[in-house]
């Protein structure tokens, strides 16, 4: 079934309209899911999300083919079960499940991992015993990656892109920074999901024509689109973005990008890299283990990023 076919050619219809979340809406560490919720392609409150709807909403919003989100969907269910201590599947056990809300995906060291591109780690900055916001977009962390390639959102060049090598350099810089910044003993290097998410970034932002087909034979990530998507949690249509063509943005695309980024030779290495950071074998994206709930750490609790930073919320 090509579920991703048949969406309206009218982008305003296909992509819905952006509404910032309110303080009681739920958002999480995934810029993809947050964007879908902000556009009403999944429940705007970010709660009681059905896996069947997610499978439809990602292709509709981002143009991603369904086969590329299987691992993520599986891991979502596992995290849901960790937190609830019970199955998140339906009574009929027909393979669909309900995720309580987007915020629980921020359970640290479960699906959520350290050295994200745009989020802080759960214990960093020597917050003795305290916890840090590992869930919402953080412009300083994002900028530390953009700095590697000299990109400034406030004064952007007309079109700036990053290739595989540059993304590997950004990725290594993020590892190095967080390795130094985290509370001693906290940092865990988690390369496979980071690289898989890098595949998502390339799929969502590769330079393309107006029908979503890739320009050139190697994807180049548009930094203006990447920064807009992450910081606004909205589709960068005003910058000329359209959803990718699903023939391009599929599972094979994501894993090829993952290993190409990992294998791209870099010209220099940041200091204080954890051991193994430059290994070039890319293990296939791993399913989180099913079974006993992992010991859960308290979730970071606060209003969603856009709710907390929108002018109305700042008194």
- Of 122 and 282, the one with the shorter C-beta distance to Mn ion is 122
Nearer to ligand HEM, 277 or 311 (CB): 277
Report the SS3 class of residue 72: helix
Site size for ligand HEM (CB under 6 A): 25
Six-digit token pair at 54? Answer: 């997610």
208 binds, among ligand HEM, Mn ion, none (CB under 5 to 8 A by kind): none
User: Which listed residue (37, 57, 76, 236) binds ligand HEM by CB under 6 A?
Assistant: 76
One of 26, 101, 103, 118 touching ligand HEM (CB under 6 A): 118
The one segment of 37-45, 153-161, 200-208, 216-224 that binds ligand HEM by CB under 6 A: 200-208
Which 204-263 residues touch ligand HEM, going by CB under 6 A? 204
Question: Which of 43, 116, 176, 179 forms a contact with ligand HEM (CB under 6 A)?
Answer: 116
Residue 312 C-beta: closest distance to ligand HEM, Å = 25
Catalytic residue, chosen from 77, 197, 232, 233, is 197
Q: Which of residues 83-112 bind Mn ion (CB under 5 A)?
A: 112
Q: Is the dihedral of CA 264, 268, 274, 279 positive or negative?
A: positive
CA dist 39 and 41 (Å) reads: 6
- Please tell me the distance from the alpha carbon of residue 11 to that of residue 8, in angstroms, as a whole number: 7
Q: Which of 25, 66, 81, 112 binds ligand HEM (CB under 6 A)?
A: 112
By a kind-dependent CB cut-off of 5 to 8 A, residue 242 interacts, out of ligand HEM, Mn ion, none, with none
The tokens describing 259, both together, are 């290993």
Active site residue 197: yes
Span near ligand HEM by CB under 6 A; candidates 2-10, 54-62, 216-224, 256-264: 54-62
Binding partner at 236 among Mn ion, ligand HEM, none, C-beta below 5 to 8 Å by kind: none
69 interacts with, out of ligand HEM, Mn ion, none, CB within 5 to 8 A per kind: ligand HEM
Q: Which long-range contacts (CB under 8 A, 24 or more apart) does 36-41 make?
A: 36/61, 37/102, 38/233, 38/234, 38/306, 39/15, 39/234, 39/235, 40/16, 41/15, 41/16
DSSP 8-state code for residue 131? -
Binder to Mn ion among 119, 171, 174, 181 (CB under 5 A)?
119
Task: Select the residue interacting with Mn ion from 101, 116, 124, 198 (CB under 5 A).
Answer: 116
Among 27, 113, 123, 208, binds ligand HEM (CB under 6 A): 113
Which residues of this protein are in contact with ligand HEM, per CB under 6 A?
29-33, 54, 58, 62, 64, 69, 72-73, 76, 105, 111-113, 116-119, 197, 200-201, 204
Q: Where on the chain is the footprint of Mn ion (CB under 5 A)? A: 112, 116, 119
Active site residues: 197
């Amino acid at each position: 079934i090509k579920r991703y076919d048949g969406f309206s050619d009218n982008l305003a219809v296909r992509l819905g309209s952006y509404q910032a979340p309110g303080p009681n809406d739920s958002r999480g560490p995934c810029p993809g899911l947050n964007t879908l919720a902000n556009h009403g392609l999944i429940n705007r409150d970010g709660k009681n999300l059905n896996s069947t709807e997610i499978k439809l909403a990602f292709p509709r919003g981002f143009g991603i083919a369904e086969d590329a989100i299987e691992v993520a969907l599986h891991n979502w269910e596992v995290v849901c079960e960790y937190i609830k201590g019970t199955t998140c599947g339906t009574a009929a056990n027909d393979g669909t499940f309900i995720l309580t809300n987007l915020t629980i995906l921020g359970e640290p060291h479960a699906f959520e991992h350290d050295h994200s591109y745009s989020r802080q780690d759960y214990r960093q900055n020597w917050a003795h015993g305290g916890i840090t916001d590992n869930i919402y977009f953080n412009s300083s962390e994002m900028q530390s990656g953009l700095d590697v390639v000299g990109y400034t959102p406030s004064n952007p060049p007309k079109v700036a892109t990053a290739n595989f090598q540059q993304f590997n350099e950004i990725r290594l810089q993020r590892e190095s920074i967080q390795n130094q910044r985290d509370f001693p003993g906290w940092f865990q290097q988690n390369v496979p999901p980071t690289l898989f998410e890098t595949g998502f970034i390339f799929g969502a932002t590769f330079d393309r024509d107006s029908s979503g087909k890739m320009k050139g034979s190697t994807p180049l990530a548009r930094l203006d689109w990447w920064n807009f998507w992450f910081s606004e949690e909205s589709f960068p249509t005003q910058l000329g973005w359209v959803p990718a063509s699903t023939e391009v943005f599929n599972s094979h695309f994501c894993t090829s990008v993952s290993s190409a980024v990992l294998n791209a030779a870099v010209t220099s290495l940041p200091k204080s890299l954890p051991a193994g950071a430059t290994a070039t074998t890319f293990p296939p994206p791993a399913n989180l283990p099913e079974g006993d709930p992992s010991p859960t750490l308290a979730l970071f609790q606060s209003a969603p990023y856009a709710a907390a930073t929108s002018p109305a919320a700042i008194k």
